[in-house]
Amino acid sequence: MTIATRSKKQITVNIMSSAINTNKNHENTSASNSAKTTIIIGVIGADCHAVGNKILANVLGRLGFNVVNLGVMVTQDEYIDAAIEHGAQAILVSSIYGHGEIDCKGMRERCDERGVSDMILYVGGNLVIGKKDFADVKVLFTEMGYDRVFAPSDDLEEVAEFLTMDVENKQSANQQWIVA
């Protein structure tokens, strides 16, 4: 077994463990404000890797988020159309096949053009081809306008905590703007 194979298996085990633990620990609970939080998820571009996307929908749904799952091979405009239609607070973009750098470029600008410039944008997965330090990948996608960037091995409960915090911060900032 190669190191790459072991890494992929470990990532799968981490994701599955997170899904199982979330199910056990949060069966009858929800995140404080996440019950009101609608999120759009999907796999961008020509990527047709569906399993991780289904796990993400399952875990975040169990944590109380209203998840609209667009499935695979989703365009930027399909994400944005769904976000507008459902009044979503965040778009979570997945890419596993390594072409995220190409598929995700310009997403923030499209949000701006479509009138949802304050949309929270997350991206995660195997986002680039080749071996790059993930710190460099984070910088690349942050410069593209994504609010948070996640590796395939990141804990989904932590992703949910960040999402809840970012939505609350956005709502708080919007309320301050209205009051001022």
Point out the catalytic residue in the list 49, 81, 99, 155. Answer: 49
**What CA–CA distances, in Å, run from 59 to 10, 54, 86?**
18, 9, 20
The encoded tokens of residue 33 equal 């404000």
**Catalytic residue list contains 103:** no
In this structure, are residues 55 and 14 in contact, taking their beta carbons and an 8 Å threshold? no
**Catalytic residue list contains 47:** yes
**What CA–CA distances, in Å, run from 132 to 23, 136, 138?**
33, 7, 10
Point out the catalytic residue in the list 47, 103, 147, 154. Answer: 47
Cβ neighbours, 10 Å, residue 25: 11
Q: Catalytic site residues?
A: 47, 49
